[in-house]
């Protein structure tokens, strides 16, 4: 990877009130894309409120690229159904990581990201200092679907020898 800055660990926590795509429920999974990278969660059977608790990792060389999230319903005998999508910007998170806050108390809010027309945040997202790391929790409202939100947590992983932030 040329000019890799580090790794972004995305902890996909859960989905809330996702759309029904099968008879009474759905079998949701998430695909996350950034540039040419693509990672995927496991499928949770028969749930519109799935708990994935999956950790997905992207290597970051260009933090200006949007992170795209696609929710799908796994089908056995046909193409998987779309259950909405969302997009978020990691620039504020990367800026907070660059600040390298030291000696601040746990759970200090380093930066706040407001919901806007340019992002899919359902509520204000806080970037906090926790246990010596910068962490961001976010709730994304899904687009192009009747309902649904996805809860994520972002973590930064430094790579020895990578381009310094």
Question: What does the pLDDT look like over 19-28, one tens digit per residue?
Answer: 999 888 999 9
Q: What is the pLDDT of residue 163?
A: 67
Low-confidence stretches of the chain (pLDDT < 70) are 1-2, 163-165
pTM of the model: 0.93
Domain 6-157 matching CATH 2.60.40.150: the answer reads yes
The structural domains of the chain, with segments of one domain joined by +, span: 6-157
Question: What does the pLDDT look like over 145-157, one tens digit per residue?
Answer: 999 999 999 999 9
List all residues 6 or more positions away from 50 whose beta carbon is below 8 Å from its beta carbon: 14, 15, 18, 28, 44
CA distance to 16, 75, 137, per residue, from 51 (Å):
9, 19, 16
């Amino acid at each position: 990877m040329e000019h890799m800055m580090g790794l972004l660990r995305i902890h996909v926590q859960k989905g809330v009130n996702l759309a029904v795509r099968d008879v009474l429920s759905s079998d949701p999974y998430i695909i996350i894309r950034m540039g040419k990278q693509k990672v995927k969660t496991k499928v949770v059977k028969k749930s519109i409120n799935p708990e994935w608790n999956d950790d997905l990792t992207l290597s970051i060389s260009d933090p200006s690229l949007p992170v795209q999230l696609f929710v799908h319903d796994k089908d056995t005998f046909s193409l998987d159904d779309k259950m909405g999508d969302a997009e978020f910007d990691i620039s504020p998170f990367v800026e907070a990581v660059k600040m390298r806050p030291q000696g601040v108390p746990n759970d200090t809010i380093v930066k706040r990201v407001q919901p806007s027309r340019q992002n899919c945040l359902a509520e204000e997202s806080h970037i906090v200092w926790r246990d010596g790391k910068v962490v961001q929790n976010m709730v994304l409202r899904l687009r192009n679907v009747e309902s649904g939100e996805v809860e994520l947590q972002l973590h930064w992983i430094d790579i020895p020898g990578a381009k310094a932030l």
